[in-house]
Chain A
Amino acid sequence: MKKYSLYLLLFIGIGVHVQAQNLSFYGFLPAISQTGRISNKIDYNFFASTTIDAFKSIQNNVEYPAKDFQLYIQPSVIYKFSPDFNVAASYTYQRNNPLTGDYSNEHRLWQQCIFSKSLKKTRITNRFRFEERFIQNRETGEYPFSTRLRYQLGLNLPLQGKTLDVKEFYFNAYNEFYFSLTGAKNAIYSENWTYSGIGYKMSNATKLEMGYLLQIAARDKQQDLRFLNLLQVSLITNFDFKQK
């Protein structure tokens, strides 16, 4: 109970801190996620996305032109221990401001585990991810090391029956807490992502999902916040090369 109360306080804390030099942006996040079965125990996933600030804005007397905020490329390997538990590892490349001169690269390794539990039609997922980050400092040319822990609580449920069948809709939502542990950081509880979307299973291998993603991040040491309001559109494919 104590733990949940702390989460609530942190969440409210971010919510009420809106009087300071906060920034809000609105845009799109197109993404592709391609999963394939290598064996009954091992899958691979290739995920790529880009985060686009779609509108020019003037905030706190500063002009922010529309631009691409981030390019994200994430191949990973997943080991499935059971229908409800898997672990994964990845090397991820991230480039911030990829199309402008103030870009910076990040190389990231991460390891994660997912526990899921089905409650009637609903599947609840708990995802823990530990990241080792090497974020480029353009002034020094160095890649200082930092670590981060992420916890995602997700919910997925078919909307038209017990199982998700072809040509049916489903609901997907999650909240993800980001905790910067070591290295340079603006805050320990440094980011929070909240997502809610509706998906459609187009075929046995393909789903299309659209939803609202709110990314809140502490953007400086004073813990001013950046709100990214995004329309996320994801094309999700799942190829089973072992299937006969």
Chain B
Amino acid sequence: MKKILIVIFLFPITLFAQSDKSISAKNIPKNIPEFLGKYFPSHGKVSYFIEQDGDTMCYEADFKYMKQQYSLLFDTLGNMIEKEIKISFDTLPDLIKKSIEGKLTVDLEKYKIEQTQTVDYRGKLLYEIQVRGKKNKEIEFYEYYFNRAGEFVKVETIVLKPIPSLY
């Protein structure tokens, strides 16, 4: 049951990852820019995308606000469904940091946190931590997920893709 809940909980993170296309601000629901203006006053330049996975469609707004990178997902009616914020690991509450570091120390011989972001899907908060870590003498890159309380949820090994370069 716990595993099923975790899968359901993590599903939105990959739900809209299938394809995205840039879209002009004039082609998105008007309440999206209004929402941004109200809750993120004097935000940076916004890039809009339309994301599609099968029959499911949503809008994405990427922008900088208070020196942090935001990525918001909205449904077709313009209601926010997901909020991702790139943050510094050091800004996390001490208890959460300790919990995360504890798990990484158990799993990995050595590690370095490369990127931290919060993913808030309809009020359910996850911490997504990208880590460069050494395990069994091999260095790999991992994506760790922790819940609001800092409890471990899931880890995935990042598949290293070729850097595009014409040979």
Contact B160 A160 (CB under 8 A): no
Asked if B132 CB lies within 8 Å of chain A CBs, one says: yes
CB distance from B134 to the nearest CB of A (A): 13
Chain B residues near A (Cβ < 8 Å): 18-22, 47, 49, 62, 132, 138-141, 157-167
Q: Cβ of A162 and Cβ of B49 under 8 Å apart?
A: yes
Known: A76-B167, A82-B141, A83-B141. A238 touches B162 (CB 8 A): yes
Question: Which residues from chain B contact A165 at a C-beta distance below 8 Å?
Answer: 18-20
What 15 new A-B contacts, CB under 8 Å, besides A161-B22, A163-B20? A31-B166, A35-B162, A40-B157, A41-B160, A74-B167, A83-B161, A114-B165, A120-B47, A125-B163, A125-B164, A152-B165, A162-B47, A168-B19, A209-B166, A238-B162
Q: What residues of chain B lie closer than 8 Å to A162, measured between beta carbons?
A: 20, 22, 47, 49, 62
The 8 closest A-B pairs by CB, nearest first: A161-B20, A47-B167, A165-B19, A80-B160, A161-B21, A156-B164, A116-B163, A160-B21
> What is the interface size of chain A, counting residues whose CB is below 8 A from a CB of the partner?
41
How long is the Cα–Cα vector from A74 to B161 in the complex, in angstroms?
Answer: 20
> Does A33 contact B163, Cβ atoms closer than 8 Å?
no
The smallest C-beta distance from A198 to any residue of chain B, in angstroms, reads 13
Give A18-50 as 1s and 0s: 1 = Cβ < 8 Å from B's Cβ atoms.
Answer: 000000000000010101000011010101000
Residues of B within 8 A of A80 (CB): 160, 162
Give the distance in Å from the alpha carbon of A236 to the alpha carbon of B167 in the complex: 10
Contacting pair B49 A33 (CB below 8 A): no
CA distance A162 to B165 in the complex (A): 19
A40 contacts which of B49, B140, B164 (Cβ < 8 Å)?
B140
